[in-house]
Structure 1
Amino acid sequence: MPVPVILDCDPGHDDAFNILLAAAHPAVDLLAITTVAGNQSLEKTTLNARRVCAVAGIRDVPIAAGRDRPLHGAALDAENIHGGSGLDGPGFGEGEPDVPQDPRDALTLIRDTLLRHPAPVTLVPTGPLTNIATLLLAHPELMHRIERIVLMGGSTGRGNTTPAAEFNILCDPEAADIVFTSGLPVTMFGLNATHQVRATPDVITRIAALGTPLAKLCIELLTYFAATYREVYGFDAPPLHDPLTVAHLIDPSLISLVRAAVAIELTGTYTRGATLVDLDGVTGLPANADVGMEVDVPGFWDLIVEAVRVLGERARSEVQA
């Protein structure tokens, strides 16, 4: 049976590919997409989710906007990586995408989906954890309707926004702390894993060879993403962070996991937002998460290329019909 999933995201170039993967693969039943402020403002991340779905022909998945700021403090963004739109690179045009925004807010859509679906649902947050923490605070009675939380965020080592903190966690450390201490099953894919899956020239060539409008869009996204990662971090190819979450749901053998205690630093002068991942068990804290470690990189990219192929051919067939 496909895994029922709610994708909570802040598109974002890598989020866009995660939407494609979740919508394309038969092992995933994408029930809803919710958005949060992160890579860009809430207005922009919500528009970007709709744009990606429109280009890919994803029209049966409701999209709702969530929190526009963290639980505490001011919002951050990643304009230096994702651009002023949050999804710079492709020319989406000025018009509205033909995929609508759901009139409900994200919290209501998630609640309604959890109550309606006959089985517990997996939550897949790939941005700041504000929406998920808000849900857990507002509706603790629904925790039994959540199968697990599979997230992109944190790191077993250094950060990417400060020396200690990864962007998603730093955007809302208090929300991350709520999620990791919730008692729910949590699987974390941090920078230590996601930096292994870089969109190298051979990946670009494989996607370009598909020859569909969606493939062209993907190349434009990756080209922009590569340029900012080269300028900001000196990477020779950009890492596609977020799709590790859905790839894991499709094929758990793709990424090895270790069980560990993960704590969120909330007050450190230089370390706020850091994920303390106790791989050696030295803190005595109870293990509360499965942490992604080694990735089958070719297997991961096979999933991404196939998702672009499937959705691209489907969208092109719809246009021709």
Structure 2
Amino acid sequence: MRHQILLDVDTGRDDALAIMFAMRHPDIDVHAITCVAGNTSAANAAANTLRILDLVEAPPIPVAVGAQRPLIEPLRDASWIHGPNGLGDVDLPVSGRGIEPVHAVELMRRCLLSSEARLTVIALGPMTNVALLLRTYPEVAGRIERIIFMGGSATVGNATPAAEFNFWHDPEAAHIVLTSGIPLTMYGWDILWSMRTGAHQIAELCDSADQVRQIAGRLLAFAAADPANGSPVIYDCIGDAGVLCVMAAPELFGIESRPVQVVLTPGPARGQTIVDQREMAGEDSAHGMTAPVPLVDVVTSASNNEVLAMFLETLDGRCGCDNGASHHAER
């Protein structure tokens, strides 16, 4: 089946891999890309997005800059793991493509209202842009097929012991999206971090004659310095690209409908996702202490080898999908 999508990104290294996948997958139509602060600044995210679109020789796709900080918190980016400009040590030429002269929220609204089909929103960074869209133009919610997001975790965090980065960066935005009533799929840190590539796969990418594969290999191989002790950290998983894999091949993942909420209170748990995995009611229900919590389709497991194979085949242009040639929405 064809997938009509809006991409909302904070283009660091794994968002770049996701854009590569989306542009080379034959059954994904990208209507627009909006950029938010997160892995790097919103301006860097937009510049990186344009560079990656050039790299994959994408057709003209509208790109807009959105929120430059969270709704409440100050900007605290993840440049330590993504490099100063967000793409590790990859230095691509400045793009000649232009940025749309409107805010990301306006571009999202325009695309949602003008599309014949409802669109799936793929949210790969903090959900500030998506939250602002739903608060500013609540009438567009009915034009969204589903929001599939990278965020949260059913186990441990990465920004803190409890909280995953995107939710920690803007918990209020995550809460707005979780309680929007729009169908949601959560691809959390616990699943993302399990989708690791091997050294041999990275080496094959880096040695490829195809420039897209070479750059993908370098993005995966980048070694950051641990801010606690300076030791090298290699973020060698396909990261945000896994969200698009869930959309393209849900049969490769275990998905369960679970109540999910995010902690908004100050303290060490701020930004934590509470995924209720109980099989029976507890004392909170027995004593009338519960309030309705939205149900979210939570990715709980993945066929890692098959997912990685699909990702690499898509980069190669060998994905066996509905047709054999890449196609993107006419604009």
- TM-score when normalising by structure 1: 0.90
1:236/1:134 CA distance change after superposition, 3 Å: closer
Give runs of aligned pairs for residues 65-214 of structure 1, distance below 5 A: 65-93=65-93, 96-208=94-206, 210-214=208-212
Q: Take 1:99 and 1:167, find their aligned partners in 2: how far apart are those partners?
A: 30
Q: Take 1:119 and 1:245, find their aligned partners in 2: how far apart are those partners?
A: 21
Q: Take 1:173 and 1:205, find their aligned partners in 2: how far apart are those partners?
A: 37
What is the letter of the counterpart of residue 312 of structure 2? V
> Contact 2:224 / 2:233 at 8 angstroms: preserved in 1?
no
> Contact 2:207 / 2:214 at 8 angstroms: preserved in 1?
no
Greater per-residue helix proportion: 1
Corresponding residue of 1:302: 309
- How far has the Cα of 1:235 moved from its partner? 6.3
Q: Take 1:253 and 1:63, find their aligned partners in 2: how far apart are those partners?
A: 31
Q: Are 2:27 and 1:20 aligned? A: no
Q: Take 1:237 and 1:111, find their aligned partners in 2: how far apart are those partners?
A: 34
Comparing 143-152 and 236-245, the one that deviates more: 236-245
Deviations 1:158-198 (A, max 9, x none): 11011111100011000000000111111000011111111
> Contact 2:224 / 2:232 at 8 angstroms: preserved in 1?
no
Pick one of 289, 298, 305 that aligns with 2:296: 289
- How far has the Cα of 1:243 moved from its partner? 1.1
Q: Take 2:181 and 2:315, find their aligned partners in 1: how far apart are those partners?
A: 36
> Contact 2:220 / 2:238 at 8 angstroms: preserved in 1?
no
Q: Which secondary structure does the structure 2 equivalent of 1:20 belong to?
A: helix
What is the letter of the counterpart of residue 2 of structure 1? R
1:235/1:277 CA distance change after superposition, 3 Å: farther
Q: Take 1:227 and 1:168, find their aligned partners in 2: how far apart are those partners?
A: 19
> Contact 2:23 / 2:56 at 8 angstroms: preserved in 1?
no
- How far has the Cα of 1:222 moved from its partner? 1.3
Deviations 1:37-60 (A, max 9, x none): 001111111111111111111132
- How far has the Cα of 1:16 moved from its partner? 0.5
Aligned identity (percent) is 34
Q: Which secondary structure does the structure 2 equivalent of 1:73 belong to?
A: coil
> Contact 2:192 / 2:242 at 8 angstroms: preserved in 1?
yes
Instruction: List gaps (5 residues or longer) in structure 1.
Output: 312-321
Deviations 1:35-85 (A, max 9, x none): 000011111111111111111111322111111011112111001100111
Corresponding residue of 1:263: 261
Q: Take 2:231 and 2:151, find their aligned partners in 1: how far apart are those partners?
A: 18
Q: Which secondary structure does the structure 1 equivalent of 2:317 belong to?
A: helix
1:174/1:192 CA distance change after superposition, 3 Å: same
Q: Which secondary structure does the structure 1 equivalent of 2:254 belong to?
A: strand
Comparing 124-133 and 298-307, the one that deviates more: 298-307
Root mean square deviation, CA, Å: 2.0
Pick one of 243, 246, 250 that aligns with 1:245: 243
- How far has the Cα of 1:244 moved from its partner? 1.5
> Contact 2:254 / 2:299 at 8 angstroms: preserved in 1?
yes
Q: Take 2:202 and 2:11, find their aligned partners in 1: how far apart are those partners?
A: 20
Corresponding residue of 1:317: none
What is the number of residues matched between the two proteins? 308
- How far has the Cα of 1:302 moved from its partner? 1.7
- How far has the Cα of 1:286 moved from its partner? 4.1
> Contact 1:154 / 1:169 at 8 angstroms: preserved in 2?
yes
- How far has the Cα of 1:287 moved from its partner? 4.6
- TM-score when normalising by structure 2: 0.88
Q: Which secondary structure does the structure 2 equivalent of 1:147 belong to?
A: strand
> Contact 1:79 / 1:86 at 8 angstroms: preserved in 2?
yes
Corresponding residue of 2:59: 59
Give runs of aligned pairs for residues 24-63 of structure 1, distance below 5 A: 24-63=24-63
> Contact 1:151 / 1:189 at 8 angstroms: preserved in 2?
yes
- How far has the Cα of 1:288 moved from its partner? 1.6
Comparing 286-295 and 107-116, the one that deviates more: 286-295
Q: Take 2:207 and 2:254, find their aligned partners in 1: how far apart are those partners?
A: 31
1:229/1:268 CA distance change after superposition, 3 Å: same
Q: Are 2:215 and 1:217 aligned? A: yes
